[in-house]
Structure 1
């Protein structure tokens, strides 16, 4: 952990320095023409993206002016600090970041544990909500067919995942295509919950931390919310099919369900 933080801090200095230089000299952008230039630029771009995410996750916001000066002066062998001084300062900086990170983790865990317990208690009062022995809460919106997946099956689903405050952290709908994955390779709440409905069914899952990501801290992707430690997660999932026979049984079942729904609609209209 300590060496990783050191690497992160040093690497971040380089990235932010280059970023700061680029901001000050935005009118003098480089011209990319050769393959070597493209490769070098791509490496820099990939590195900056990774480090920017790492800095934001650790809430590190150094003064860019001093970062730029430290980088440039040291690169010209004109550093105002000796190597020993740099090492001592970064060691202390690393310890402070670790301390702040631990304090932030404990605060988030305590708050999320409390809010999660409150949310689950309120959800449990809703009509049709049931709880399994593991603590998973679920509400079946649509039963689906008689064919339910097993933990060994690969399922095809559409889903939306939100935090208890309603913020979205993942959605196959937003990506514009269903997700396909082995049911025994996802969080425990999903492995258990998706088996409760059949093909064509829809279910709402409220997953406590021990059946989700526990104390992990997962950064948000593509503008979505991140998942903090001890988070209770809420999913709405449609089971579209089971991968090992989606070309026969699944395609036979879905039109049959649609036809049944159409017949019910016709009867209601009459």
Structure 2
């Protein structure tokens, strides 16, 4: 955690320095806010520096948001610039002690947040699965997977060794969407032995052309892992029960498969382990 904090802060300072952000500010005439002067990019060297800064910014933003850290940008910039000019207001020992304490605090806050999310998601998942199990047609496997076959499909069922072509929607128990092949406008192709256990087991229960609803407990999904949200999609928190509606469009390699095979443009990190 401490190394992450240090790398994040260093990266953010480099970003701001490379993109021309310094102590000079231009005042907004209509408010008390200040805006950093923009740089003019013209030479290849400037483009390279700006691109490097942009790359650092993406890394920094992702890690700061993931750890819910919101540093004061003005002081962050000053800390970099003054230290670079050998005019730091803090000694090296001061910096080390402050960052050590900061890292410890962030780690404690992260642990408390994890425990809270796990407790809440465990309760919400237990309640959702209990209610879902009461619906018509819902069955439960020995592993704890709950499923409801919406459409049986053909007699051709995939095996664990098959690669399946599917359309699917993934939601949390509160209905928020975390992944969808429909939104990407193309089906997804997965080796059935390389996805979460709930999928490996559940998709084998229907034939080609079938559709199934899966309610996957945490132990058959991502357990205590958390996955960040992407764009307008929700993230997956620890101990989350996941809900999927899956259409089995085809099995890769089948001669009678009329479905056009398509591999998603982006990695399916919410469906694959």
Shared fold by TM > 0.5?
yes
In the other structure, the counterpart of 1:130 is: 139
CA separation in 2, counterparts of 1:140 and 1:18?
Answer: 56
CA contact 1:6–1:90 (8 Å) conserved in 2: yes
CA separation in 2, counterparts of 1:233 and 1:242?
Answer: 24
> Following TM superposition, by how much is the alpha carbon of 1:129 offset from its aligned partner in structure 2, in angstroms?
0.5
CA contact 1:16–1:67 (8 Å) conserved in 2: no
**1:70 has 2:62 as partner:** no
1:1-270 to 2 correspondence within 5 Å?
Answer: 1-15=1-15, 21=21, 28-245=37-254, 248-251=255-258
> Following TM superposition, by how much is the alpha carbon of 1:18 offset from its aligned partner in structure 2, in angstroms?
6.8
CA contact 1:158–1:178 (8 Å) conserved in 2: yes
CA separation in 2, counterparts of 1:75 and 1:55?
Answer: 23
Q: Which runs of 5+ in 1 are unaligned?
A: 253-270
**TM-aligned CA distance change 1:176 to 1:20, over 3 Å:** farther
Deviations 1:85-116 (A, max 9, x none): 10110010000000000000000001000000
In the other structure, the counterpart of 2:271 is: none
> Following TM superposition, by how much is the alpha carbon of 1:27 offset from its aligned partner in structure 2, in angstroms?
8.1
CA separation in 1, counterparts of 2:232 and 2:131?
Answer: 29
> Following TM superposition, by how much is the alpha carbon of 1:20 offset from its aligned partner in structure 2, in angstroms?
9.9
Q: Which runs of 5+ in 2 are unaligned?
A: 27-34, 260-273
* Bigger share in helix: 1
**TM-aligned CA distance change 1:17 to 1:88, over 3 Å:** farther
CA separation in 1, counterparts of 2:157 and 2:192?
Answer: 12
CA separation in 2, counterparts of 1:226 and 1:24?
Answer: 36
Q: TM-score, normalised on structure 1?
A: 0.86
My pick for the range that moved more, 190-199 or 60-69, is 60-69
CA contact 2:118–2:237 (8 Å) conserved in 1: yes
Q: How many residues align?
A: 250
Deviations 1:115-147 (A, max 9, x none): 000000000001110000000000111111100
**TM-aligned CA distance change 1:8 to 1:114, over 3 Å:** same
Deviations 1:206-229 (A, max 9, x none): 000000001111100122100000
> Following TM superposition, by how much is the alpha carbon of 1:188 offset from its aligned partner in structure 2, in angstroms?
0.3
> Following TM superposition, by how much is the alpha carbon of 1:51 offset from its aligned partner in structure 2, in angstroms?
1.3
